[in-house]
Chain A
Amino acid sequence: MKQLFLKREAGIFILLAVLCTVVAILNPHFLKPQNLQNEGRLIGMFGIFSIGAGIVIITGGIDLSTGSLMALLGVQLAIILVEKHWPWPVAILTVLITAGLLGLAQGVLITRLKLQPFIVTLCGLLIYRGTAQTIAHDETKGLGVNTGFELLQKLTTGEVCGVPNQFILLVIIAIIMWVVLHRSVYGRYLFAIGQNEAATRYSGIGTRGIIVSAYVLSGLFGAISGILFAFYSVSISPASHAQFYELYGIAAAVLGGCSLAGGEGSIIGIVLGTALLQVLQNLVILLNIPSSLNFAVMGGVILIGVIADQLLKKK
C-alpha cells in the first residue's frame, strides 16, 4: 500500500514539475517572484481546506459544504470585526467554533441518523450559502477598514523572507497532519474505517466518533482557509465568495491519490494535488488561454490523471 502511494505521489510530482517547466519556458513571467509569491498564497489557502476534504474522503465520506461554509464564515468574520468591533482573537475563535459546530452537526447527522454524507453536506452547501446571503442582506462585506485588527491582517496576508504566510501555515498544518494521518493511532483508525467500517467497529473502536471528528476537522480547516481567503480578497460577496471551492478540495484530494471509496490517500498527495491545480490555473492566465476555458482545462487534466492512474493500476 505504501509503495503504491509513493508511486502515485512521485507521478503527480513529476507531472507538476513538467508542467512548471513548460509554463516557465513558454512564459518566463511564471518564475517572477511576484507570480511565485501569489502562487504560494493560493496553494496555501487551497491546500489547507483540501487536507480537510481529503480526511473526510479517507473515511469514505465527502464534504460538499466547504465553499459555502467559507462564504458564511467570511460574512460572519466581516460583521463581527468591522461592524461589531469584537477583539480579533475573540472573532477568530468565534469563527472556528462556528465551523467546528457545523462540522459536528453534519457528522452527527451522518453517523447517528445514518444519512448519506453526500446529501447531508449538499444540504449544508445550500443552507450555509443561503444563510450567508441572508445575514449579509445580500450585500458585499468588506474587511478593508482597519480598526483594531491590523495585526490579524498582517498575519493572514503577510510574508516571512518573501515566503507568504498562507504557504507557511499550509506547511505547518501539512506536517502536523502528516504525523497525525500516517503515524498516529487516530490516523490508522481513519484509514481502517474507510476500508471497512464494520470490521473496525468489531475491533472495539468507536467508529462513529472518529467519523464525526473528520467532519469537524474539515470544518476547522475550512474555517482557517476561510479566514485567509476573507483577508486575501478583502471583500466578500456572499453569493459568489468561494463558490465551487469544495470541488477544488475534492479534486486535489482525488488527484493526490485519495479514493472516493475510502481508505486511501496521503497528505503529500493532497498538497501536490492542490499545487497542480493552482499551477494549471496560473498556466491558463499566463498562456493567454481564454479564462472561460479555465474549468474545462482543469476538468480535462483531472480526468487524464485519473485515467492514467487507473491504467497504471491494472498493470
Chain B
Amino acid sequence: MPAPLLELRGVTKRFPGVLALSEVSLEVYPGEIVALIGENGAGKSTLLKTLGGVHQPDEGSIQIDGKPVTIRDVNDAMAFGIGFIHQELNVLDNVDVAGNIYLGREPVMGGPLRLINRKKIHADAARYMKRLGITSVPTTARVGDLPIAYQQMVEIAKALSMDTRILLMDEPTSSLTLSETETLLKITQDLRAEGVSIVYISHRLSEVMQIADRVVALRDGKNAGGLSREQITHDNMVKLMVGRDIAFRTPAATKPGETVLEVKDLRTQRYPGQNVSFTLKRGEIVGFAGLVGAGRSEVAQTIFGVDRPAGGQIIMNGARLPAGSPAAAIEAGIYLIPEDRRKTGLVTSMTIRENITLPALGRYSSAGLLNFGKEVSESERLSRELRVKAHTVEQRVKNLSGGNQQKVVLAKWMALEPKLLIFDEPTRGIDVGAKAEIYDLMRKLAENGVAVMMISSDMEEVLGESQRVVVMHEGSISGFLDRPECSEEAVMRLAVGHHQAAAT
C-alpha cells in the first residue's frame, strides 16, 4: 500500500463544555473515497472542519505527504490542496458561474483599472465545468438561477481549480434529488480515477455502499472502527454508528379508517396546468415520492394554506377548506412539518417553550395575557414526551441538534389534536437514532387515527414507512402504489415520468 496522503494522529478538539473530538485518527490514501459516518453530534463535521482549517486541533498531529503540518486557516488548507464543500452552499447567487469559481482570484488584464479578463475567466471556468461533465450550463449563467445540484458543481469546480488533492464534502447529497445524487456520485468516482481523494459525510447509507472504498465511523467524538470495501453493508455501518443493531424497517400494518382528506383537482401556483387528486384516510401513512421539484411540497403548502391554490378543492372531514388560510387548516386539524426547519418550522432564536406554544397561545393565555406557568409545564411535558434533549425548555432552539429541532416542531403540533400531519422531508439531516424516534412517533400517531402524509426523497424512508405511496412527476401524480407493488424500481420509474399505465 502506498504512503498515506494525509494522516491524522490523536486529534482532540474541545469546545466550551464539550469534548468534540477525542484522540481521533484518520488516514487518507491517494485516490480513494473515505466515507465518514456517525450519528449527529459524533464529531464528523468537526473533524472535516479541522482538516479544512476552520478549527484548530487542541492536541494531535496532522501530516500531509509524511510531513507534519499546521493548518491555521482556510487559506492554509487550500495551499495544502485541501478543498471543502460545506453542507450549506457558499455560492454568490447574483454572480455568474465563472465569477464564483474564480472569486478573489479573478484573472485581470493589464492596466491600472485591473479589469477582469472576461475571455480567460470564462474559458478557464468552462474547462473545469467540462471536467465535471457539465456542458449544458454556460459559465455566464447566474448561479442563483441554477438548480441546487449545479450550484454544488460550481463549488466542486472551484475546488478543482485550486488544484485540490483532497476534497472534503459534508453531506453533499442532502438537498439533491435522486437523479442529481446519481450524477454527483458518478463525479466523485471520476475524480477518484483522476487521483483526487475524497472524504465525505453522508447519512444515506445506500450511497456509501455504492461509492465508498472505506468507511470510518465516529461515535461520541471517538474512532468507532472502520470497514473495508467488502465489509460495507447497511447493518455493519449501523452497528458501528449506534453501537447496537437496528432492524431494517417495514411499514406498520394498521388498517386505514374512513377518509379524512379529499383533494380534488388541486392546482398549485407552481404547476397551474396540472391537476392533483387524492384521498388520505385515518390511520395511514402515505409516502409522497418523486424527484425534488416534482411539486410535492407545493401540494403540501397549498393544503396547509401557506400557498394559495390556482384551482381545485380541499375537503377536510367533509367540509371544504377555505383557500390560503393556515389558520383555517390548523383549525381543521391539519398541521405541516415543513422541509426547512430553520426557515419555516421554527423561530430558532426563541426558546423551546416559545416555539412549542406559538401556534396555540390562546390555550396558554386569558384575556390576551400569557400564563407563563402553564406554558412552562405544558412545554416541559411535551418535550419530555418527545424526548427532546435539552437542559431546560428555556434553551434556544438554534442551539439544538437537527433531530431535537425536528422534535420541537413536532411538539408544537402535538399540543393540539392533529387529524392530518404533513411531514415534508421529516428526517433530512437527522441522525439514525433520532430518525428511528421520529418514525416511531409517526407510527404512534397513525395508530391513534391520524392521517400522515409523508413527503420524502429518501428511498429507504419511503419504502420503510409508507403503507401506500403516491409518486409525483412535474406537478402531477404519475402513480399510486399499494404496499405489495412498492419497490425501489417501481417508485423510480414513476418518479422519472413513466405513467402508471405505461409502467405496468
A-side residues, CB < 8 A to B, are 1, 179, 183-186, 188-189, 191-192, 195-196, 198-206, 263
Contacts and interface: CB of A to CB of B under 8 A. Distances in A.
A200 B396 contact: no
Q: Which 10 A-B pairs have the closest CB atoms?
A: A204-B330, A203-B359, A185-B361, A204-B326, A196-B347, A204-B327, A202-B344, A203-B358, A198-B344, A195-B347
B350 A184 contact: no
A199 B354 contact: no
Given A185-B362, A204-B329, A199 B345 contact: yes
A192 B354 contact: yes
Interface stretch (B209-217, B245-253, B363-371): B363-371
Interface residues of B, number: 28
Which residue, A186, A188, A202, A205, has most C-beta atoms of chain B within 10 A? A202
A184 B361 CA distance: 9
Given A201-B326, A205-B327, A188 B348 contact: no
Given A183-B369, A204-B327, A206-B327, A195 B350 contact: yes
Contacts of A201: 306, 326, 344
Contact of B412 (A184, A188, A203, A206): A203
Contact of B368 (A185, A195, A203, A263): A185
B343 interface: yes
B196 interface: no
Which residue, A183, A191, A199, has most C-beta atoms of chain B within 10 A? A199
Contact of A185 (B330, B336, B365): B365
A179 B368 CA distance: 10
A195 B359 CA distance: 15
Contacts of A203: 326, 358-359, 412
Given A1-B350, A198-B343, A198-B344, A205 B365 contact: no
Interface in B336-394: 336, 338, 343-351, 354, 358-359, 361-362, 365, 368-370
A199 B346 CA distance: 6
Contacts of A195: 347-350
Contacts of B338: 202
Interface of B: 304, 306, 326-327, 329-330, 336, 338, 343-351, 354, 358-359, 361-362, 365, 368-370, 396, 412
A204 B348 CA distance: 17
Contacts of B348: 195-196
A203 B322 CA distance: 17
Given A1-B351, A192-B350, A202 B306 contact: yes
A184 B359 contact: no
Given A201-B306, A204-B330, 6 more contacts: A1-B396, A188-B358, A192-B358, A195-B349, A196-B348, A196-B349
A184 B368 contact: yes
A179 B369 contact: yes
B450 to A, nearest CB: 18
A200 B358 contact: yes
A200 B357 CA distance: 11
